[in-house]
Amino acid sequence: MLNIDSLETGIVIDHIKAGASMRVYKLLGLDKLDCCVAAIKNAKSSKFGRKDIIKIEGITDIDLDVLGFIDHNITVDIIREGKIVEKKKLVPPKYLKNVVRCKNPRCITSVEQGLDQIFQLHEVNGTRQYRCIYCEQEYQSRQG
Amino acid sequence: MRHLIDPLDFTKEEVLDLLDLADDIANDRFRYGEVCRGKKLATLFYEPSTRTRLSFEAAMLNLGGSVLGFSTADSSSASKGESVADTIRVVSGYADICAMRHPKEGAPLVASRYARIPVINAGDGGHQHPTQTLTDLMTIRLRSGRLNDLTIGLCGDLKFGRTVHSLMKSLARFEGIRFIMISPEELRVPDYIRDEVLKGQGIPYTEVETMEEVMPQLDILYMTRVQRERFFNEEDYIRLKDTYVLDAQKLKTAKENMSILHPLPRVNEIAGEVDDDPRAAYFEQAQNGVYVRMALIMKLLGLTL
């Protein structure tokens, strides 16, 4: 198995659905960081068979809210001095800003490209859904 | 500063107060002839409209104010590519209050976020039309004497019919409301309305495809037009446009005190012979639209008699 050194200080994002790590990488804006980031694809998982893992070295204060939108199975460990000091509980964010795009051709965002793409979390009969704040169209995960 | 973008922007109590004021205006509108002296209403209509725009203008003129604006996107700077945000920022310096109609859903919400004056959603795409809803509520209350314990039939284009979506959201706040939705399968209410308004609030509803089978149950029959402008495919429009035509024959089984509403304009969905039926309330409804918009302008500008 590929060996990535354990972290002294940083964040381990574990149990990412196999193949989804690059989406997480982009949504968290990790490409804009100067620190060392490792994305491990298709690691063995006793729970899921295969999983992806992301390790971020040196920083612990990244806004991780969007992970709650992507997949609630993802786990996040904050590491300091080589030890797990916090296991973050992922909560779906109330709003998603410029994370996904509204695909409704009747939505104002379809013609005014400068507008922020904002989706709000709604809970209907125990089901969570994100809806565009402008046209109220539900975000479907098959959308881009 | 308050805006009216979504029909639920006002509480139920605020809506009832507004309807009380509209009823009072209807009884003697001339008493209100000076309330908006010196105030200006901007009507920003990016999409053609007769009734809504004229009723807003009539409302402001009745209140002693004045109006300015445009009635198509072609005659506005939108045709040059100006954003809604920029337009409203500029108009905020020209007028005291604004009514906006736009073919794109959410445009009035965008405007309200950049405006320095109250913004009224005068219809955004197939989404919402809250002032039509106030008009509908006023008419239903005047005709039925109440807004609770009613069986409401909604007929026609329930998918793109923004007046239907707004009306359902508003009526769901009253006790004892039951909806019967009459539409072809392709034009049923959007999932978000069914999930949040009906299932989410436990409102009883039925979906059927013919009006005859439910006519005797209805206290209100709300007819809508299948709108050509909402279809990307002309063939679909042609196929669906004449699905429902209300005529005297179909009304034979209806309650004597049922009321027929329609946001207008109608095309073929209500036969001319129905106009003389005492249950036809749609022209009265159009008239009420002026009074309720007068009340709304007063409320948003914080003006009283």
Query: Which of A113, A136, A137, A139 to mutate to test binding with chain B, by most B CBs within 10 Å of its CB?
Result: A136
A121 min Cα distance to partner chain B (Å): 13
User: Measured between CB atoms, which of A122, A127, A134 is closest to B105?
Assistant: A134
C-alpha–C-alpha distance, residues B191 and B116, integer Å:
34
Task: Give the side-chain half-sphere CA count within 13 A for A14.
Answer: 17
C-alpha–C-alpha distance, residues B147 and B176, integer Å:
9
Residues of B with CB under 8 A from a CB of A: 83-85, 102-107, 109-110, 124-127, 191-192, 195-196, 199-200, 232
Residue B52 known to be catalytic: yes
A117 interaction partners in chain B (CB closer than 8 Å): none
Where are the extended beta strands (E) located within chain B? Answer: 40-45, 66-70, 97-102, 119-124, 150-155, 177-182, 205-208, 220-223, 259-261
For residues B113-123, give the mean pLDDT. Answer: 97
pLDDT band of A143, cuts 50, 70, 90? very low
B107 interaction partners in chain A (CB closer than 8 Å): 108, 134
Does the domain spanning A10-88 belong to CATH 3.30.870.10? no
Q: Give residue-wise pLDDT tens across range B81-97.
A: 889 999 999 999 999 99
Task: Determine the pLDDT at residue A27.
Answer: 87
Report domain extents, chain A: 10-88, 95-132
Fold of B130-285: Rossmann fold (3.40.50)
A104 interaction partners in chain B (CB closer than 8 Å): 105
| DSSP 3-state of B280 | strand
Report domain extents, chain B: 7-128+289-301, 130-285
Question: By percentage, how much of chain B surpasses pLDDT 70?
Answer: 98
H-helix or E-strand spanning residue A17: strand A10-17
Task: Determine the pLDDT at residue A142.
Answer: 52
C-alpha–C-alpha distance, residues A62 and A32, integer Å:
12
Does A110 sit within 8 Å of B127, measured CB to CB? no
Lowest mean pLDDT among A68-77, B216-225, B246-255: A68-77
Token pair 């037009």 is found at B225
If you average pLDDT over every residue of chain A, what do you get?
A: 88
For residues A8-36, give the mean pLDDT. Answer: 91
pLDDT of A4 > 80? The answer is no
Task: Determine the pLDDT at residue A1.
Answer: 53
B97 min Cα distance to partner chain A (Å): 21
B192 interaction partners in chain A (CB closer than 8 Å): 131, 136-138
For residues A105-114, give the mean pLDDT. Answer: 94
Task: Determine the pLDDT at residue B118.
Answer: 98
Tell whether A1 is within 8 A of chain B (Cβ): no
Q: Could you tell me which residues are beta bridge partners of residue A83? A: A80
Name the nearest CA neighbour of A66 among A8, A139, A4. A139
Task: Determine the pLDDT at residue B213.
Answer: 95
C-alpha–C-alpha distance, residues B237 and B146, integer Å:
36
Name the nearest CA neighbour of B164 among B147, B181, B148, B176. B181
DSSP 8-state assignment for residue A16:
E
B124 interaction partners in chain A (CB closer than 8 Å): 108
Name the nearest CA neighbour of A96 among A140, A142, A133. A133
User: Measured between CB atoms, which of A125, A131, A133 is closest to B199?
Assistant: A125
Tell whether A120 is within 8 A of chain B (Cβ): no
The reply to whether B7-128+289-301 and B130-285 are identical in fold is yes
| Residue bearing the bigger pLDDT, B140 or A8 | B140
C-alpha–C-alpha distance, residues A72 and A90, integer Å:
6
pLDDT band of B61, cuts 50, 70, 90? very high
Token pair 């049923």 is found at B188
Give me the catalytic one of B3, B53, B101, B169.
B101
Asked if residues B193 and B159 have their Cβ atoms less than 8 Å apart, the reply is no
Residue B165 known to be catalytic: no
Question: By percentage, how much of chain A surpasses pLDDT 90?
Answer: 56
C-alpha–C-alpha distance, residues B56 and B158, integer Å:
25
Q: Give residue-wise pLDDT tens across range B227-249.
A: 776 666 777 777 777 789 999 99
Shortest CA distance from B229: residue in chain A? A106
B58-67 core/surface letters (b: 16 or more CB in 10 A; e: else):
bbbbbbebbb
Task: Determine the pLDDT at residue B232.
Answer: 66
Query: Which of B105, B195, B197, B199 to mutate to test binding with chain A, by most A CBs within 10 Å of its CB?
Result: B105
Task: Determine the pLDDT at residue B72.
Answer: 81
Give me the catalytic one of B51, B194, B255, B279.
B51
C-alpha–C-alpha distance, residues B163 and B193, integer Å:
12
C-alpha–C-alpha distance, residues B227 and B250, integer Å:
23
pLDDT of B300 > 90? The answer is yes
Tell whether A126 is within 8 A of chain B (Cβ): no
Q: Quick one: chain B helix, strand, coil %, rounded to 5?
A: 45, 15, 40
Residue B80 known to be catalytic: yes
pLDDT of A144 > 50? The answer is no
Task: Determine the pLDDT at residue B230.
Answer: 63
A134 interaction partners in chain B (CB closer than 8 Å): 105-107, 109-110
Asked if residues B131 and B7 have their Cβ atoms less than 8 Å apart, the reply is no
For residues B45-69, give the mean pLDDT. Answer: 95
Asked if residues B123 and B101 have their Cβ atoms less than 8 Å apart, the reply is yes
H-helix or E-strand spanning residue B131: helix B130-144
Specify the CATH architecture of the domain B7-128+289-301.
3-Layer(aba) Sandwich (3.40)
Omega before B265 within 30 of 0, i.e. cis: yes
Token pair 């909560």 is found at A91
DSSP 8-state assignment for residue B83:
-
Q: What are phi and psi of A86, to 5 degrees?
A: -155, 135
If you average pLDDT over every residue of chain B, what do you get?
A: 94
Other Cβ atoms within 10 Å of B235 Cβ, number: 8
For residues B48-67, give the mean pLDDT. Answer: 95
Could you tell me the two tokens for B158?
């329930």
